[in-house]
Amino acid sequence: MGTRGVEIAYEIRNENGEIINWLIFQLKMEHLDREYGINTKTLSRIDFQND
């Protein structure tokens, strides 16, 4: 088994609103918990939407 992790992806759009790329963060849960006190329960409550 590997290390538990999470991926967060953001769309990158041009001036016309078309998706031209993605920015992806790969985070280790162990690091998030140790450094920031963030666990899967906390992550499930975060709204990453850009309204």
Q: Would you give the DSSP letter of residue 24?
A: E
Round to whole Å and give the CA distance between 9 and 18.
16
Sign of CA dihedral 32, 37, 43, 48: negative
Round to whole Å and give the CA distance between 5 and 8.
10
Give tens-digit pLDDT for 2-42: 778 888 889 999 999 999 999 999 989 999 999 999 888 88
Confidence (pLDDT) at 3: 78
The pLDDT of residue 50 is above 70: no
The single residue listed with the structure tokens 């993605």 is 22
Where are the domains positioned within the chain?
5-45
Confidence (pLDDT) at 51: 57
The pLDDT of residue 47 is above 90: no
Q: Would you give the DSSP letter of residue 15?
A: T
Give the predicted TM-score (pTM) of the model: 0.59
